[in-house]
Structure 1
Amino acid sequence: MITGTTEAGFNYSIAEELLESYDFLEALSKVEKSVLYLPDLVEFVFKDEAKAFLNSMRNDHGLVTKDDVVNTMKTIFENKELKKS
């Protein structure tokens, strides 16, 4: 299990098996082709907590930027790699 807290204060817990699955790789490769698949990746990784993940990044206007989502997810995945080494 990979656990942590984002800069915005969202506490996450992700099954390591999920991040090592073919399905995750497929979802990630779709995002690399087009950012339009980002919502699918967020739903896949966070499941029932996807809305809470997004809500943690809302700005003063109530919006979430795609850059915030991408950067936060990159940080989570990089932290996973750091813990592994």
Structure 2
Amino acid sequence: ALYKAAMSEGLDFAKDIAIRSLPKLGPAVPVYDKSEFDPIRTGEAVVCIDGREFHFVLYSYESEGNIVTLAYSPRCAKFGS
């Protein structure tokens, strides 16, 4: 999820990506529920691109026996108020 969210080619997981905390597993919901994106449930990661740090929020849920993780930047993603 971080590779896609960072939109930058050539990222090296060991060198460029730091997962600061993993998210707690949340339910898969078809509509946005603000409580699911509470900081207590979400995780945090940092991606370094050309010496600059970009912060991402992580959210995970289970779907059909698989764990799905979303990564988004709080600076560009806006969920309903």
Give the number of the structure with larger relative contact order, counting CA–CA contacts within 8 Å between residues 6 or more apart.
Answer: 2
Which has the greater radius of gyration?
2
TM-score for both structures, normalised by structure 1: 0.28
TM-score for both structures, normalised by structure 2: 0.29
Select the structure that is richer in helix: 1
Select the structure that is richer in strand: 2
